[in-house]
Structure formats: structure tokens, C-alpha cells
Structure 1
């Protein structure tokens, strides 16, 4: 009997999700024994044609990490969707847009102009930019189209399950693979992580005051962090109250605040707004001047509250004149 076929693919992301698979260590050998890896171009010599030759639905599951920013990434997402029985958004970038999604604060022209003309390390007096199509002696060369906005995977194709995290914790990967191989999967559309806030599993939970009232917000580099006390109680912006659990409180165990990479629970419509609301509820300020003083401790609100989720949020992207917010391919 042939083994079930699975695939892994990398779109707009840093590659950490691919490394997280390898972090299974010797357990990855059990995965290799149980399945046939039919496509994993970052690790093995596969080509797009290998996927095209597969019958529709021949892949039992595909794990796609990374957001969608180019036409090639969208084409591969559609191709792998057609070939897969189950498609899993693997990691924060495919789940909610991730750090690449912060590019939605800028339009396409601003990004290209900075990268190819204005960046301090660039010397390009002719202002040359890559062309999507250019004819040379050897024939026509093409490049993918660079879209006007970053999209999540499920804004591009239908997604069956979500495995959150930046990168997904090894424990969640292990559980997802076990569920996949056993067929014991939750309803489609589920996020494969506990549906409770991180504070529920935080080792510092006993030190969190019943009522927090902060008159100052601090950044990690400004203070010597107490390794035992609730980070919020120390005035540090920990997003644990607005973030799904399942990571084992890894950052907090490392004496750093949660940054929200596992995304919100199912009861939250907009993760960034939830985090903003959670922080606003613990500020102890009585006047506008005091509020402004406290908020000076958040120099980059979008980068803090929407670090991993801008494309999945109600905001989605910054809109220029004459643009509509949901036109991901707009220039």
C-alpha cells in the first residue's frame, strides 16, 4: 500500500517555518516513514512540473507557509490547492499575514522606489528596476508580478486548517501531524491550537494582580526585567491576554513579553484591536495629557498590535487616493 503524499511550500516568509519542521529532530524520521514527501523544494530537488503531474487531490495534505505577495506565489497556492485534499496555512504569515504583512502600510510604488532607488545601500543613478517581461537574445525573460498588497493564504485560496505561530511550536506541529495521519481532525476551518488566551498557561499567572493600573509603559531594553513577576505588572506590553496559547509561553519563559504570533482566539474579530483594547483597559490615566504621556511608551502602535496580523485585520492595508482597501492586486 502506498504512503499518503504530503507537500510543503514556502511563499512570502523568512523560512523559519521550514526550520520548525526540521526541529522535530528524530521525530521527523517517523514522519518520513509514515508519508511520502511529494514536494518540498526548499529541502529536496523538486520542480513545479512535479506538482503539475499529480492528479487533483493526490496530495493528502499540503503545508503552505508565507503570505501571498506575488503572482507566482498565488499560482502555486492555486495549484497546490487543486492537488491537495487538505490545505494547511502553516505559520503566522500564511495564517494572518505575519511580519511581511506590515508592508501593507505602504503602496507598491513606495516599496519599489525605496528598494531600488532610495535605500542607503543602493547606488542606482539610472533608477533601473526589474521588468516583468524583457526580451534578450536567448528569448523572453519573465518575473512574477509584485502585487499591490500582501494577502493571507485564505484571501487567495480556500484553507482547511490553520497552524499558527512564528514559527509554529514543535508541539503543535507534532499534534497536527498525528491528527492528520490518524484522520482524527477537528472541523474544517479550525485553528490547530488551544482556543484560550496565553495567560491561561503563563507560569507567571499567580503574580498577576487582580486589577492592573499602569501609569507608565516600558520597553524591554529600558528595564531590568524581573524573571518571576507578571510582565504586564512590570509595565511591559505583553500581549498574552490577547493571544492564543499553545507555545508553552516560550517568550515569557525567556523573560520577554509575548508579541502575539499565535494570533487571537476564535472569539476575537480583530487581533490587533483586541490587544489595543486589553492595553487600554489597564492604563491608569485621568486626563488627556497623562494619556499622551503614557502612550509615548508605544512608539510604533501598528508594529506592536498588528505585527503579525495586518492583512487579516479589519484595517487590511493603508489606502491611497482612489483605491479600495481589498484590491490586493492594485498598484
Structure 2
């Protein structure tokens, strides 16, 4: 990757050797990056929730209250906010990048050439933010923030804590939401187990949508889109309990089967939905690391029911991607871009991550940032 100061010699001519206007090339690159970043931002927003807190005492289960039948002289029982809370910390770091150019470059360069450099900065910021959110979701290692609050992952079964009870059901302290398939492909039983781990703790039922986030290559290898209830789809593999129901996004096909119930919409908050299995929508994305799959209970973009918190500075002036002019204008023009943020799991029961491997030990993926 090219780095350094843009100089006079870096200014390009107006067209390529085959006569293509360079401004058209720059515009095409910018449009491609905008589409690329739009998908990545949509994935991140369905997993995260923006906050300025260094830590939150967050209820770790979802339960609803119930009325009771009134009696003539009886006093109804009182309700109160949930007491099953856990103090969850969110870390915070500052990141920066710069653009530098000589006065001769800026004198000769077109607006499109300068804009293309800024577009690369925005892409790098998008990659950093989304990578941090995905890393926190898929990485089982806890961290600490500057106030020494623990920045938790999902349940790991190694920290001595048990998920809070839900509707009378209790869970052992070795409960983990980081699993492995035990085989070289993802099976229907794996998805069923992941969905169940979330639902038995109260998530994916009230105000949230279950999502299966997977890399397209892993979806193809698993034959997920051909899963049918009680039908073997690979030799020796488990038989699915449910049918995979294609959305309108899937290519047309001929069949004699009748679908009972609604067909999944082809779009969920800007992301393509390829169908549903059980109660979960399938979203394929190349931003999900190859060899891994996640099932997430999402409340929608920036919902406080999403599993990961995205921490920003409490001062609005220090939030988001900021542009800071540097030295200049002669002989060098500096331009700095800065963002400060952090992450932490907000709801430890709201997602399950699985690695596709025969090794029983889960290890975190390497996610580019």
C-alpha cells in the first residue's frame, strides 16, 4: 500500500493511454467504496449500540411482567426493574491517519484526485469501526478499560459467572456462547443449537430479530439453502428440524412444495436476506470472517438490545470522524483525521459465535482493521 506525501510527480494526466478520462475512474472508485462501506456499516449497526458511558449496569435477561387476578380485599404484588444486572465496561482508544501533499501537487491535482484520497480515509475509518465491533463479538478474551472495568465478551464459561435465570430456568457457570462445529462444515444442528442458546435466555423473542451472519463461502459449503425438514442433505449429517425458506432474493426455481406462512422479505435494514431457517434470517456477508458464523438477536440499527456497545466520547465535539487541519499551506499541506471509540459486549446472552472446525477449542478469527 502506498504511503507518504503526495508530490508534484504524483499528479496524473487527464486521461489514460486508452483515452479514458481519469475523473471517471476516480468517480467509479468512489462509488464502489460507498457501496462497500454501506454494507459494512449496516452489519455493524445491527450488532451495536452507541453510548457515551464507560460502563453500564445492564440487565442480562429479558422478561415481561404479568397481571394477576384481582380480589376484593387483596393488594396486588409490586413490580420493580430487573435486579439481574452486570456492570459491563467499554474500552476507548484514539485512532488517527493523515493526508499530506505539496503545494505543487494541490496546484495541479483535480478535485476528483483529492476527493479520492479522502474517500480512502473514510473507507479506512469504516473498516476500523466495523472491525472493532466484529472483533469484540467473535473474540472471547476479556479486556479492561481505563477505569479498570472488565470489558466482557459473550459468555465463555471460564469467568465463574452464570447467565441469569430466565422464567425459572437456570444455567451452569460453564455455559459458553463460543462453540465449534466439530466438523468441517456448518450443519443444521449447529444453527439450531445456537438459536436455542439465545432463546432459552429470553432473547430473540421480544422486540428483536434473530439473524444468521455467515460468509457466502460457508453458506455454499453447508448447503444451507437446500435444508429440508427430516431430509438428509449430506451423507452422515444430521437431518434438519426445519425447512430453509428462500426469500424473494433467491433465484427462481420450480417445485411442487407449498410454503405455509410468510416468505421472508429480501431486505432487512439495508442488508440482503437470502431466506430463513427456524426463526432466523440468513444474511451473507464477506465481512463475516471465513470459517465462522454468528447468530445474533438484533433489535435493529443502533438498538440498545444489540449485543455490542459502541462507546464514544461524552463531548459531542469529539464524536465521530473528525477532520483537523494541520501545518501549511506552504510547502506541505497537512490534514489529519481522528476518531476515538471503544467497544464492549452489552448483552452477553444475545449472540452465539461458532467456528467451523473439528478442533473442540474455539479460537478467535483475525479481523482486519
Return the TM-score normalized by structure 1. Answer: 0.26
* Between structures 1 and 2, the one with greater helix share: 1
Which structure has more relative contact order (CA 8 Å, sep 6+)? It is 2
